[in-house]
Structure 1
Amino acid sequence: MDQILQNTGIEYKLEGSHIILEKKVEEVHNSSSAVQQQQTKKITGKVVDKTGEAIIGANVKIQGTDKGTITDLDGNFILEVAPKDVLVISYIGYLDTKVPIAGQKQIHVVLSEDNKMLDEVVVIGYGTTSTRKMASAVTAVKGEKLQDLPFNSVAASLAGRATGVIVQSSGGEPGSAPSISIRGGGAPVYVIDGVISDAWDFNTLNPNDIESLSILKDAASLAVYGSRAANGIVMVKTKQGGKGKTAVNYTFNAEFSQPTKLLKKTRGYDYAYNQMLAGINDGLDEADLPFNQEVLDIIKNQSDPYTSGHADTDWLGEGLKTVAPQYKHTVSLSGSGNKVNYYISLGMLNQGSIYTSNALNYDRYTVRSNVNTTFDKIGLKVSLNLNGAYEKKEYPSFSAAKIWEDLYNQSPLNPAYNKDGTYAAVTDHPLAEMDKRSGYNRNYGKFINTQVAADWTLPWLKELTLGAMFNYRLNDSHVKKFSTKAPQYYADGAVYPIGKPTLNEEGYWGESYNFEVSAAYVKTFAEKHTIDAKFVYNVAENTGWNFNAYRGEYLSTVVDQLFAGAADTQQNGGNSDEGGRMGLVGRLKYDFMNRYIVEGSFRYDGSDNFTPGHRWGFFPSGAVAWAISEEPFFKEWDQHVFDLLKLRASYGQTGTENGVNRFGYLSTYSLDEKKIVIGGKLQSGFSEGALVSPELLSWYQVNSFNLGLDMAFFNNRLKGTFDYFYYVTKGGLMSPGDRYTTPLGKPLPQIKSNSEQRREGVELTMRWSDTTPRKFTYEVGFNMTYFNSLWKVKADEALSDLMNPYKRQTHQTDYYGLGYIDTGLYQNKEDILNSPRRLGSTQTKLGDIGYTDVNGDGKIDGEDQVRIGKPTMPHFTYAFDFSLGYEGFTLSGLLYGTGERYMTFGNRYQSGEGKYLYYENQLNYWRPDNTGADFPRISISSGVNGNNNKAGSTFWMRNASYLRLKDLQLSYDFKYKYLKRCDWLQMCRVNLSGSNLFTISGVSKFFDPETSSTSGDGYPVQRVYSIGVTIGF
């Protein structure tokens, strides 16, 4: 703190757990003149903010003198003054207020916030900046906004909270995390405390450890990361500890989850009855129908429930619990002493599944220690950061998705149990699969990062700071899968064959280091011109190895070790990898009175993925900003209306090597065992792999342009940001064999192509926040992102498609895929007779799907397929959020929505077979008395009418746009009122929250719009209810 406040005219002192900042003044209580003593008098007062809260340590000074004092812990002060004196009350972050004495004996002062002084600090690549000085496109999220949310990954918490970030769920399986895209690009890079990290590090972050998070989106902010930054960067800064005494915080959350959408399964009688109707619809004789009335009566009356084909099993009721429990704990210590500040935390997550067997669990443990010490006399700051995570994921030998698929797609006519309670002899028996006797699949993984950093501000040249950082990462993982199955039996007691157990083991070990040195120079000239320059040299290396082994034909499940399997089934393998890169980073920024800002940066990047002559790439960028609100002519306007109006623009280039084969410029060879005939005998030898072309394999570039407008109105209560972005990706990698016939019987080499893809869009963020005189605080916000992309040149597109205006991808915006345009379901014979038919559809009937003859040749074939729909990644996202606070209560929530997004029904819906009518909503199929059905007629056959109804078309496509209450939270801090006198207690907050509480979507009656599968094949998206408590000491 001494170093930070040096030469600022501000000093500080510790009072209890508070840090009091004040201007340096000489406190004078008495005058040497007896006359002056008679003229002065004592005055008392209190200084508060606009909510009525006391301001501790406010500076109270008599105008034109050095006489003054500061407010105490209750905001009160006493000062001797003369009748004509004027008090000037000031405090950092608030506007100075002048109060004439004018005979007053007691005064009450309300200070207003100086929002310009409270300008938010934003973490960017290799440094920090403020929102007013920023010329690039960066979205910042405060760490406190991510705490206490009912999500198990930081990625899930970002949905709707970071403009430009598209979050897509992959389901709700324990331990899973959603994917992230920035402005529609690919997977971003994660930078945690200045070190490039992988998604594993990010997804295991404890949200309580995060101080701030920044999304870097344009070339001006990304170029310093060169070849890795093409898809954007998510930057995380973790907590570094506070000042004062040690603070201890403990947070506990108990959460309970359940599927957001649980389809009702068809009961046994309806399932059998509709199969019989399918047979009648196909024209089968009564003797050939799959069911008759006698069997239907047996199913309806459940007179023979243990015989296959006669049961009425509620598989979901048998296999699912009402809710799945999960628990989270975090304990942290932070504080400072003797020039050292620290933050230490431990976290634990235990997440169970919704399956009744309790055989699927995920556990995660995290640790973090950030320690910083300063040596003020020499201007040195040293940091030692340690963090790590250990996670364990345990399943039966069947995956969570496989168990869910079999629960949903198992016939209700199959019994779950025999009379004696043993599992019935059923193929793909989900209860047997989730049984703890069905082997196991154990996944273990851990990593630890050690980081040492030093920053030295030269005592003789305080504008120059030299830095160094070294980070070492060690990680390993181990997978052990022992595959067997719980015993099943036929009704007569015979054992159902399940095969002998097998064992797979895999292991990986890796280490990496990152080392960098830097020099930063910041200097302000004539109080108007600021130069900010930084240069960084970075080098990184990584190594790793893995192994795998297999044995089968185990005679027993007792010994689950590799040696116990049959030797003749033994298989094994393994390999190692290593890589390295270097980079030189430069950034120069000029700022004139926060009015005109010019910034340029570059990275000279080297990667060993390319041949020595093509390993280095240069990636420059530039940005400018004009704060119109800082112009003298603008300041003449009402400053309480216009607080900020800033234009900014940036252009630059980043690179990428995504998709580059490791050492793709080198020829590869493979061992062919006994495949070469020499002298009439089979011999082993080596054969060359794909052809290579080292000179044509290199970086490909992403050029981007960004135009933005930052706004603030009404004393910064209303803030907004608008951005237009445009990206051009050139030179994507391809193999000519993708387009041309491969010669010589070998794959053609991977080379840089002339492909060019364009992507553009807009972003808007608006936020209003205020506090009423009655201490009621409120905040509402809205943000949206829209983008689209097209191929200007797609080098690997087939020439036949390129020549077809309905199929070509070149010069077309994004779409779902190729398919037919449906004309609806045939409702009468005239429809069938007057419509062209799809090739192979020789048995068309009423209730079948008709298609449009696009090219008018009188038939439906592949030439009638056109571009249909929109991609599953939403091209339009938006969010509304709010926060209300009153006397210790806080209510907050977020609505998140998407548009421009399509999904198709899965195979179970498209099959049209009676035996696959597993869900009640499938019963809304076409029949003469139900012509407005959702689905075509059903059949007893799988390939009826040449699979006409299963062809990809607009019929099976639905607009999956949705609006979802992503999270809702209510909390109360007992410290505000009931525990106010407990000085040893800093906080005692209880909160109730929920996620995915309701959804509005056109597909909600069929499936969750965020689901990973529309056939009931994936573990479902979860709705979560949470109760938590946070106690601070």
Structure 2
Amino acid sequence: MNYRKKAILMVMALFCLNIAMLAQAVSLKMNNVSVKEAMTQLKNKSGYSFVYKVGDLDTKKIVSVKAKQLNEAIDQILYGQDVVYEVKGKNIVVQKGQRQNTSKDTKKRKITGVVNDANGEPIIGATIKEKGTANGTASDLDAKFSLEVSPGAVLEISYIGYQTQEVKVGDRTSLSVTLAENQQILDEVVVVGYGTTSRKNLTTSIATVKTEKISKAATSNISGMLLGRAAGLQATVSSPQPGGGINISIRGGGTPIYVVDGVVMPSGSFEVGTGSTSLPSSVNRAGLAGLNPNDIESIEILKDASAAIYGIGAADGVILVTTKKGKEGKPTIVYEGSYSIQKHYPYLEVLSGPELMNMVNVFSKENYLYDKGQYPYGNTAYDDKWTPIFTPTQIANAPTTDWLDKVLKTGAVTNHNLTISGGSEKFKYYLGVNYYKEDATVHNSDMERYSLRTNITSQLTNFLKLTTIVNLNQNNYTNSTVGGDVGNLGDQGAGALFGAIFYPSYLPIYDAEGKYNVFSRTPNPVSMHDINDKSEQSGYYMNFSLDVDIIKNMLSAKVLYGLNKENTSRDSYIPSDVYYALQRKSRGNLGYGKRQQSTLEGTLTFQHKFGELLDMNLMAGMGRYLDSGDGSDISYENANDHIQGSSVGMADGPFYPTSYKYKNEKRSQFVRGNFDLLGRYVVSASLRRDGTDKFFPSKKYALFPSVSLAWKMNEESFIKNISWINMLKLRASYGETGSDNLGTTLYGIVTTTREDVQFNNNSVTYIPYILSGANYEDVTWQKTVMKNIGLDFSVLRDRIWGSVDVFRNDVTHLLGTAPTELLGMHGTRPINGGHYKRTGVDVSLNSLNLQTHDFKWTSQITLSHYNAVWIERMPNYDYQKYQKRKNEPMNAFYYYKTTGIINVDKSNMPESQRSLGPAACMPGYPIVEDKNGDGIIDVNDSYMDNTLPKLYFGFGNTFTWKNFDLDIFMYGQLGVKKWNDAYGNSIDVGGLSRGVDAHNVGIYSYNIWNTQTNTNGRFPGIAISKSVALPENLGFDYTRENASYIRVRNITLGYNLGPKELSVFKGYIRGIRVFVDFQNPLTFTKYKGYDPEINTSSSNLTGGQYPQMRVYSIGAKLTF
């Protein structure tokens, strides 16, 4: 009996040994090679040799192999051959055998097996599926399975936290499958400055945004893909216009720099004009407009010391953009197209014609009573002499013009993308072509883009590789007249949307003579459709890099040259019959500009692994960066409306020409070293030396060091055996960056005056020179010190993974200006000074919530919080009485809190109100809270709010079921207050009291306090429009509102067809995807203004900003 047991054990041991040999890990990837070449490569990789009789095997047959285990590699090399094999020692013995897939063998057969992990532990609930079919099962409590499969079947075995394995059944009836743990998260390649690294060796805080799941149907620029997608990245829409701007900030800093395929690119849009009487719109568009979002592979956000390697300008973080490249394989052609319908969010509801007339009458009488001192605004009785502005007959017969309906409309977006990619081992290519057209929701507002991008990689020799990237683009815009107070002209500088809110609704579009109706306060919104304002932007970008393998896998060099050139022009014309900016004459503007940036860098990289002790990577480089540009424009007046800007010289004038020109140069040297000690401790350090021509020689250069550490705790013995911890890494970093953003030169410039001076009867001529500025030799770099502590983790077999970071950034030696001496030639001078800090927390969390045979659900959460506090103000800062000298939030807002409205008999007015003066004690005036109870309203009673949100967040969920996929993504801000601009437009009692010059208001005007119809109103009455200066000129709180919001950014539903479903096309069509996408379908907020997200802090946006849009898209993607 003992002998029998030993024999059984010996047989089982041999069987397991054979299985173990077949399951040996081996990484082999080849495309379109002969069987003989594949055998040679397998031998080189694993040491296993093929033994076979000549004639039994077709060694010239072409195969492709992608395997991670020995048995997979053998099966794929011998696939389709009439042979069987057996592994004996280091030999793979191949013999003539029965073909696996014969026409006679068509019946399904039963396959049994067991699924274990690398330690031999059973895996319960693993999914076993016949590839290309819905036929599948799951392993039972003993990790065993049984499945009926077709001849020649390939099984896919998968389980959460393990790598999916494909096994060809062949002639076998039983299988023993060993699944390896999934290291995808740890081995994920992360792009860093001047290189890449694996996520497991990352020592700094870098967030990655993968773009493949982000809907690009109605997305015109890269910024639109970043909303809520990364922890520590604050992205909010500033204008939804075509190509509209999105405010991007990393950890509360300023505008980060963008690095596209290794080259720093301009982050801002290149426009002509900033708004004047001749340019009726201050355009607010996003940067990188020539880069098609569909060409982007991934985006990395460098948030801490990782940015220091870029030196100048990296103080506010770095966004690395990697574009798509060709991959080895046969040509792949992909077409993706979509069509979208845009619907604007509900705008402010304004009063109808009769409603406005009644409201004007009410407040005209209120104003009469107040000015005459009649009851309740004085002790005199009403004299009954007030005359209504509008009679009952006029009100009854008044028309209503829906001005917003005349300005807003339904928009549409068309987006077409075509890509061709592929290549061989030595030559890879990618070509992307895009056409994007957006006819938006505001009249005279559209965008059209044509772009082409190529990325070609050529392995010129065994040691020389050339990469060439070229991007061409042409963008055409029609600029809408949105916003208010363009050119600081008050209401008369209003755009069409502002005018549509303010223009009296009882006025028709045209007067009795068929001309545009005229109103004293704002332009006729419909007349502004006749304004012709167009911009064109074109450019090209070239990136050439040469990689040299000096010593293979040890020493390499790279030379990179990048050139970005952009041209922009704008042609704006306002016809003479458009009553705009208090003028009745035609105005126009023609402008152009060009800018160019070039980058030349060289790097040398050394890498070597010293056994298990040390893995080292050293890099040194230097670069030269040029930035130049010039432009000019001319504004003109009194041109013929039929000629417009086609011949400016024919205008009567006057003419106002301007021009500019600039050129800057920067030079840098940088080094970095990465050291992985014992596979557990990672150290990274860098040093960059930057020089700029903006500073004087003694301050021209600056050093920016950084150091970061990582401790891979999961590799320690006290954690390594904890099965539910897959990765646990503690990080710390310190880095310094700087800024030379002066906006001016520090050198005094001598220029000539416009006119010369002549003496002695014009025989002697002098050309006067003036000094345009002094020399400021002591001004130096602005400095930012970044500190970060972080924790990366992955648990429960990589079902949950993420990171937590705590940071502090100190900004010192701020660059700014200060007044000069009273007798100085110039009003201001550049200075250094001040110190503020930004502190906060970033959290990123990912989870694989559920995975079954046909269903998968994953989630992503990003959370960010930061605050910015002054440590020391700039020199000569004029402190207000209510401000703190230290530890005051940089985004502080001061105000007085109100507790109600003074009623008619003043019975609710506290004694402290009298300290504000008689005008503040009138009925209808706000009651100001006496915060400290001293009986006096002064600055000590003011309140302060931090206008920064307490939390930024993003939350995404992706569901896949069979061929369907559903992606839902939302983002938002919590704990923030904003001024409600809709209230501001609705409760202008001063405007309503102007009689026939009164502008229209919103429906919130029904909440204004008045003695005739509403003595319980929420908002102040006519008394607020009279001159009452609160202490230190602070405002009230009644127009500030909770602006927290949750916005559903995208809901995307797709259906996918793969090669199995498309077999009828015989490989000509390899994939079809159809999808619908809903952008901004829902917003949850208590804010009653136009939109809680759109930035309205700028005066030229208040009350007339571009409306937020809902976008409904349908599209398809075809892969050939």
Return the TM-score normalized by structure 1: 0.85
Matched, 1:231 2:329: no
Shift of 1:674: 8.7
Which residue identity lines up with residue 885 of structure 1 in the other structure?
A: T
Give runs of aligned pairs for residues 683-832 of structure 1, distance below 5 A: 685-694=768-777, 696-737=778-819, 742-744=822-824, 746-753=826-833, 755-769=834-848, 772-796=851-875, 798=877, 800-801=879-880, 804=881, 806-827=882-903, 829-832=906-909
Q: Deviations over 1:515-550 (max 9, x none)?
A: 111101111111441001111110011222212223
Q: Is the 8 A contact 1:1011 1:1020 kept in 2?
A: no
In the superposition, relative to structure 1, how do residues 28 and 1006 fare at CA in structure 2: closer, same or farther (>3 Å)? closer
Q: Is the 8 A contact 2:27 2:67 kept in 1?
A: no
1:298 to 387, 390, 394: 394
Shift of 1:675: 11
Give runs of aligned pairs for residues 5-404 of structure 1, distance below 5 A: 10-14=28-32, 24=46, 26=48, 28=50, 57=76, 62=87, 65-67=90-92, 105-107=173-175, 109=177, 111=179, 114-115=182-183, 119-148=187-216, 150-199=218-267, 200=269, 202-219=288-305, 221-282=306-367, 284=369, 287-291=385-389, 295-300=391-396, 302=397, 310-321=398-409, 323-337=410-424, 339-355=426-442, 358-377=443-462, 379-395=463-479, 402-404=495-497
Q: Is the 8 A contact 1:870 1:900 kept in 2?
A: no
In the superposition, relative to structure 1, how do residues 568 and 141 fare at CA in structure 2: closer, same or farther (>3 Å)? closer
Q: Is the 8 A contact 2:571 2:645 kept in 1?
A: no
Shift of 1:714: 1.2
- In structure 2, C-alpha distance between the alignment counterparts of 1:55 and 1:264, rounded to whole Å: 72
Q: Is the 8 A contact 1:673 1:683 kept in 2?
A: no
Give runs of aligned pairs for residues 508-523 of structure 1, distance below 5 A: 508-523=593-608
Structure 2: which 5+ residue stretches go unaligned? Answer: 1-24, 55-65, 79-84, 119-154, 270-286, 370-382, 485-493, 993-997
Which residue identity lines up with residue 213 of structure 1 in the other structure?
A: I
Give runs of aligned pairs for residues 481-492 of structure 1, distance below 5 A: 481-486=572-577
In the superposition, relative to structure 1, how do residues 387 and 747 fare at CA in structure 2: closer, same or farther (>3 Å)? same
Matched, 1:993 2:1077: yes
- In structure 1, C-alpha distance between the alignment counterparts of 2:851 and 2:86, rounded to whole Å: 28
582-591 vs 556-565, greater mean Cα deviation: 556-565
Q: Is the 8 A contact 1:276 1:290 kept in 2?
A: yes
In the superposition, relative to structure 1, how do residues 775 and 528 fare at CA in structure 2: closer, same or farther (>3 Å)? farther
SS at match of 2:719: helix
- In structure 2, C-alpha distance between the alignment counterparts of 1:515 and 1:587, rounded to whole Å: 18
518-527 vs 832-841, greater mean Cα deviation: 832-841
In the superposition, relative to structure 1, how do residues 947 and 756 fare at CA in structure 2: closer, same or farther (>3 Å)? closer
In the superposition, relative to structure 1, how do residues 61 and 213 fare at CA in structure 2: closer, same or farther (>3 Å)? farther
1:405 to 493, 498, 502: 498
SS at match of 1:278: helix
Q: Deviations over 1:267-304 (max 9, x none)?
A: 11221112222234345465534435xx334333x3xx
- In structure 2, C-alpha distance between the alignment counterparts of 1:853 and 1:675, rounded to whole Å: 65
Matched, 1:447 2:515: no
- In structure 1, C-alpha distance between the alignment counterparts of 2:921 and 2:765, rounded to whole Å: 56
Partner of residue 38, structure 1: none
- In structure 1, C-alpha distance between the alignment counterparts of 2:796 and 2:361, rounded to whole Å: 71
Which residue identity lines up with residue 30 of structure 2 in the other structure?
A: Y
Q: Is the 8 A contact 2:752 2:767 kept in 1?
A: no
Shift of 1:577: 1.1
Partner of residue 923, structure 1: 1006
Partner of residue 608, structure 1: 693
Return the TM-score normalized by structure 2: 0.79
Matched, 1:417 2:510: yes
Structure 1: which 5+ residue stretches go unaligned? Answer: 1-6, 33-46, 303-309, 490-495
Matched, 1:466 2:557: yes
- In structure 2, C-alpha distance between the alignment counterparts of 1:676 and 1:453, rounded to whole Å: 59
424-433 vs 979-988, greater mean Cα deviation: 424-433
Shift of 1:814: 3.9
Q: Deviations over 1:718-745 (max 9, x none)?
A: 10200000011111123342xx864435
- In structure 2, C-alpha distance between the alignment counterparts of 1:814 and 1:886, rounded to whole Å: 48
Partner of residue 283, structure 2: none
1021-1030 vs 562-571, greater mean Cα deviation: 562-571
Partner of residue 526, structure 2: 432
- In structure 2, C-alpha distance between the alignment counterparts of 1:97 and 1:368, rounded to whole Å: 36
Which residue identity lines up with residue 1022 of structure 1 in the other structure?
A: M
Identical amino acids, percent of aligned pairs: 23
Matched, 1:649 2:732: yes
- In structure 2, C-alpha distance between the alignment counterparts of 1:68 and 1:257, rounded to whole Å: 66
SS at match of 1:835: helix
Shift of 1:463: 0.2
CA RMSD of aligned residues (A): 4.2
The number of aligned residues is 963
Partner of residue 706, structure 2: 621
Q: Deviations over 1:811-869 (max 9, x none)?
A: 212444233233332245133362324756526433321223567776546x4574522
Q: Deviations over 1:861-900 (max 9, x none)?
A: 6x457452222x5352012110000111111111212124
Partner of residue 41, structure 1: none
SS at match of 1:613: helix
- In structure 2, C-alpha distance between the alignment counterparts of 1:147 and 1:488, rounded to whole Å: 42
Shift of 1:452: 1.2
1:893 to 925, 945, 968: 968
Q: Is the 8 A contact 1:170 1:179 kept in 2?
A: yes
Matched, 1:935 2:1019: yes
Which residue identity lines up with residue 432 of structure 1 in the other structure?
A: V
- In structure 1, C-alpha distance between the alignment counterparts of 2:460 and 2:594, rounded to whole Å: 38
Q: Is the 8 A contact 1:816 1:902 kept in 2?
A: no
1:478 to 540, 552, 569: 569
